[in-house]
Amino acid sequence: MKYEKLAKDIIKNVGGKENVSDLSHCVTRLRFKLKDTSKANTDILKNMDGIVTVVESGGQYQVVIGNHVPDVYAEIATAGGFQTASEEKSDEKTGLFNKFIEVISGVFTPTLGVLCATGMIKGFTALLLSIGLLTSTSGTYVILNAIGDCLFYFFPIFLGYTSAKKFNANIFIGMGIGATLVYPTFSSITASGQPLYTLFSGTVIESPVYLTFLGIPVILMNYTSSVIPIIISTYVGSKIESFFKKIIPSVVRAFLVPFCTLLIVVPLAMIFIGPISTWAGQLLGEGTLSLYNLSPVITATLMGAFWQVFVIFGLHWGFMPIIINNLSILKYDPILTGSFAASFAQTGVILAILLRTKNIKLKSLSIPAFISGIFGVTEPGIYGITLPRKKPFILSCIASAVGGSIIGIMGTKTYVFAGLGIFGIPSYINPEGIDSGFYGAIIGMIISFILGFLLMFFGKFKDDEVKIENNEAVKTEVLVKQETVISPLKGNVISLTEINDEAFSSGALGKGVAIEPTEGKVYSPVDGVLTNVFPSGHAIGVTSVNGVEILIHVGKDTVKLKGKHFTPIVKQGAEVKKGDLLLEFDINAIKEAGYILTTPVIITNSHNYLDVIETEKKSISFNEDLLTVVI
């Protein structure tokens, strides 16, 4: 019950349990799938004790907790009753890439703990074999190797389970599909039998046929350790199962739905889905290898430099199927190796901050962040320490890039999916023995840590000054600066995603909100300069004294009015104050002309800032806070 209050506060501020359609967690984050993200109080959550920060990425609303996230997750799941939440659907539309990231994270996240554990065991077993403490014929080696191989060898069964949960299907049907793909008899047929004939002779996909199903040739593939075939097959199976649930009477549905589903999806998987997706996986493996072979150093350097950025936005999940596919097809992965230096570079920077800062709170944050960073969990350090201060984060990326380049020069490869941080060391041990690639990983790890420390320790460092009064630490400098943008209009506030204008709704032009105006006046939202007044008068741009650029675009397609019904009050280039009248427009006349007056108010240079936080109000008046720009 330690986190009961925190759990209830989180549920309340994500919009209530009725706003949650799915909930999972990874190493440090709660991953919500919200029906309407506009109902979440992001700014409140970010400032809540026990929460590091909030990230919206990959179609997920991610609340970063830290190393104790499993305990908080358990409290939230109990308090909110989210065990069946994944059966509900979200009303919010997500892009194809976000949907892909969401599916991949949902399928792989539950397996990561055991996947890392078995990978570490396999790596240590290879180490013991290479230094002569074990022989390949000893019982100890056989058993340890079996533990290391157990999950990866039967991966389709485990992924059948997680995929079925993700696609809202019967988990045992998913496991059944996976078990069929790795059924031992199929391997023995290809090993000892004679092919009936060969398909696609003389091509790169030439395939011997050992058996048929109802006269249809079946191309037997090796599906042990595979990823793509089972995920696609389970997805297809979920659709078939859903169809039969609708037409089969409930009295016999419990056994007839699995009966009909398996009879259809398994042959489809064996005849079509499996071979095609396996070939696609082989092409993917060869493609990534070709990219790596073009320049191992550049590839590893870029992975080192940007891996932490990928983690921030949740994009690292996009590499997951590529990495595991490479381990299955190539028996090694050359892509992930460059990222190994990232956590150590970040940890080195945090250690330097820990030693240099006199800020009591920053020092107290740095200690646990340093410890967790050694073990590869860097989110507390990234969100709580380096990213808000920008320069330390950039220095860690530079140090990581250098470490990655060393790893690339040494030709380091990943042979198993092992743990994070120092627990990842066994993954670089070649099953045939320790080679230069393993030493490259160690050197890259050490260099990135030392360089991150030195760059931060001897570089310019503007400490977060504190003064002690009555035994309390009082900040004299705000760690993260903010600028408040007041509402330039009076009306109803709606999310950008709800407006029928892709340029604004997609966020391509910047973050912000839209307002349905109830009064035809536009006031300055900040102190600054009126940098742009469009000739048609329908849109104006204001730049604040801190450089925040705000665009106010009155209506959709109102440029076609060519200035009619719009009256600019202030000329372009003029200095303005908050609340100065900038523009008047005739609401009724514009509506009668057939135009929609929904007005986006966006921060066009929002990519320069940590975040843009929207108001929670549904209706707003002039001079009320509309947006908060985190500088």
Kindly list the catalytic residues: 26, 553
Please name the amino acid found at residue 525. P
Check: CB of residue 466 under 8 Å from CB of residue 473. Answer: yes
* CA angle (381, 366, 342) in 5-degree steps: 35
Rg (CA), the chain: 28
* CA angle (480, 482, 488) in 5-degree steps: 165
| Residue among 9, 32, 6, 8 nearest 20 (CA) | 32
Please name the amino acid found at residue 613. I
Own/partner pairs, 615-621, CB within 8 angstroms, 24+ separation: 615/487, 615/493, 615/513, 616/41, 617/493, 618/492, 618/493, 619/491, 619/492, 619/493, 620/487, 620/489, 620/490, 620/491, 620/492, 620/493, 620/515, 621/487, 621/490
Check: CB of residue 369 under 8 Å from CB of residue 348. Answer: no
Structure tokens at 387: 């990213």
Question: What does 126-173 look like in DSSP terms, one character per residue?
Answer: HHHHHTTSS-TTSHHHHHHHHHHHHHHHTHHHHHHHHHHHHTT--HHH
> Cα–Cα distance between 484 and 629 in angstroms, integer?
6
| Residue with the two structure tokens 């950039």 | 394
> Cα–Cα distance between 561 and 536 in angstroms, integer?
7
